[in-house]
Structure 1
Amino acid sequence: MAALLSAGLLLLLLPAAFAAEYGEANITPQTTMGEIRSNPSIAGSGLWTYAKEQKLQGAENLLNGQTLEKYVGSWVAQDCADGLNLLIENYNAGVQITYKIYSEQEIAEDSSRNDAEIYYYPASTPNAKYALILSGNVVTRTAEVKECVSTAYQLHQMGYAAFVMRYRIYPDNDQNAPLDDIAQAVQYITDHAQQFGVQAEDYAVIGHSAGGQLTGLFGSDALGYKNYGLLKPGALILAYPIVQYAEVTPAYRLGVDGLSCGKFYYEYSVADVITEDYPPVYFWYGKNDTTLMMLCWNLQEPALAKALQANQVPHKQVVYNDAPHGIGLGRGTDAEGWLNDAVAFWEAQTT
């Protein structure tokens, strides 16, 4: 009898123990970052949520009391919450979220490669097109949660697969490491296209801010997909892209690569590497984007538009009156809805 009681008690306890491994998809814009990071499914998924604190000592203790809306901004808060809930639902259903894009041997050769990974948002139907999404970065800060998770959610709603990209940043961004990471991600997705249920061809790369500069360079002959032996992107989608770093380049060079020989990604202008066979480009920005204004305006979006026109590259440029830098989906601004327009452009180039 005692054995039967023990077995029964064990059976009663099993569901609770099992359930403790999973979190609820109940995140809202008012959920704190500490609560989000404590969600067992977020933690188990491997999603990097320390965007603002990346590479800083004691990162796990910073900003945990902020709400998601405060952390990412009202422009993306609801979409970001929806994207995190979708990730939780996928994880709870047995979907692997995080994929290291370098092999164990490659990581052993260079430990910084361990930071390079992708987070998978599967499409609801097989053989879907996919987009690789890059956030912006400011030295040690990135915006995967802010700019990428929200975008991934909206792409999922439109029927696409999405991969949020975490690439190497300072101080591990020397020797063109971020471009290597992007190329490695595309190669990894291509090699596992059947597993991910995606088409290897006609993919889009979406880059925000500094991620837009990397995306633009990835489309070039000199530094991009051809250099890595990869398929040509179906479209490059650039949200308020930095085209070149202009007057800050010398300081950046000194801090990242010092006296190393060669020319590295942050020393290039996207406008200078565009050729006639460059991938189709959709890009947008706001007239009140003070970040771009501070980086020598004439060398930014005007130079990009001029180069695309001169080389007759299919492109669409959209300029908004009210669209500050770093707003992601831009809810509540003139830019709201830009992703739908960008996806329509992507489809027009690949069908």
Structure 2
Amino acid sequence: VLKYRVGQGGIVATQDLAAAIAFIFRQADAPGVTTRGYSSRGSPAGARLAASIGSYGVARFGGADLPKPSAVVMAYTAYADISSGEPPTFVVVGDQDGISPPFAMERRVRALRRTGTEVVYRQYEHVGHGFGLGVGTSAEGWIEEAIRFWRRHQSR
């Protein structure tokens, strides 16, 4: 979990994420730390940060010249930027999300697929914005599915 600066625009927050990723890479030799096949995940504002790192990499936001994440996991946010070499992306949203409605998520999904990016898109019935772990809803289990998706791409 990353605490990042808010109220200063998305670039500042993404710079905080880039700095955190660079810090983890600097600690890669420490016991229990690995950077192999890392993923970038977030919801909802955090998903924009995660996707930005996936789109442009850490260096673009002031971090070191590091590999892009092996996968991005985005929960209920609309993010439009697309670059070359997007990582595989797992996307979730509730069908009743009035803040980040499915149509906004679907635009990104279509754009990613047009670039040849592998995308898993899940829209859950009777779920609104901010469903978290999804416990007791149709979204229950989405975290486990996202982890399996990431693990398939870890060797990237």
TM-score, normalisation: structure 1: 0.41
Pairing of 1:119-268 with structure 2 (within 5 A): 164-170=1-7, 173-174=8-9, 176-195=11-30, 197-221=32-56, 224-227=57-60, 228=63, 229-243=65-79
Indicate if the aligned counterparts of 2:44 and 2:76 stay in contact, CA closer than 8 A.
Answer: yes
- Flag the 1:192–1:312 CA change in 2: closer, same or farther, 3 A: same
Indicate if the aligned counterparts of 2:18 and 2:59 stay in contact, CA closer than 8 A.
Answer: no
Letter matched to residue 322 of structure 1: H
Unaligned runs of 5+ in 1: 1-163, 244-268
| Partner SS for 2:123 | strand
Unaligned runs of 5+ in 2: none
- Flag the 1:196–1:207 CA change in 2: closer, same or farther, 3 A: farther
Structure 2 counterpart of 1:327: 131
TM-aligned CA deviation for residue 225 of structure 1: 2.4
Kindly indicate whether residue 113 of structure 2 is the aligned counterpart of residue 316 of structure 1: no
Kindly indicate whether residue 150 of structure 2 is the aligned counterpart of residue 346 of structure 1: yes
TM-aligned CA deviation for residue 238 of structure 1: 0.8
- Separation in structure 2 between the aligned mates of residue 188 and residue 196 of structure 1, nearest angstrom: 15
Pairing of 1:97-112 with structure 2 (within 5 A): none
| Partner SS for 2:30 | helix
- Flag the 1:291–1:218 CA change in 2: closer, same or farther, 3 A: same
Indicate if the aligned counterparts of 1:285 and 1:320 stay in contact, CA closer than 8 A.
Answer: yes
- Flag the 1:311–1:175 CA change in 2: closer, same or farther, 3 A: closer
The RMSD of aligned alpha carbons is 1.7
Indicate if the aligned counterparts of 1:201 and 1:233 stay in contact, CA closer than 8 A.
Answer: no
Letter matched to residue 37 of structure 2: D
The structure that is helix-richer by fraction is 1
Letter matched to residue 77 of structure 2: P
Indicate if the aligned counterparts of 2:69 and 2:87 stay in contact, CA closer than 8 A.
Answer: yes
- Flag the 1:235–1:338 CA change in 2: closer, same or farther, 3 A: same
Indicate if the aligned counterparts of 2:53 and 2:69 stay in contact, CA closer than 8 A.
Answer: no
TM-aligned CA deviation for residue 194 of structure 1: 2.3
> Could you give the per-residue CA deviations for residues 257-294 of structure 1, whole angstroms, max 9, x where no partner exists?
xxxxxxxxxxxx23xx232x11111011111111123x
Identity %: 30
- Flag the 1:211–1:196 CA change in 2: closer, same or farther, 3 A: farther
Structure 2 counterpart of 1:112: none
Structure 1 counterpart of 2:95: 287
Number of aligned residues: 152
TM-aligned CA deviation for residue 189 of structure 1: 0.5
TM-aligned CA deviation for residue 196 of structure 1: 5.1
> Could you give the per-residue CA deviations for residues 218-267 of structure 1, whole angstroms, max 9, x where no partner exists?
1113xx32524122211111111232xxxxxxxxxxxxxxxxxxxxxxxx
Letter matched to residue 165 of structure 1: L
- Separation in structure 2 between the aligned mates of residue 200 and residue 286 of structure 1, nearest angstrom: 31
Letter matched to residue 88 of structure 2: P
- Separation in structure 2 between the aligned mates of residue 176 and residue 191 of structure 1, nearest angstrom: 22
- Separation in structure 2 between the aligned mates of residue 232 and residue 220 of structure 1, nearest angstrom: 8
TM-aligned CA deviation for residue 175 of structure 1: 7.8
- Separation in structure 1 between the aligned mates of residue 106 and residue 22 of structure 2, nearest angstrom: 32
- Flag the 1:322–1:346 CA change in 2: closer, same or farther, 3 A: same
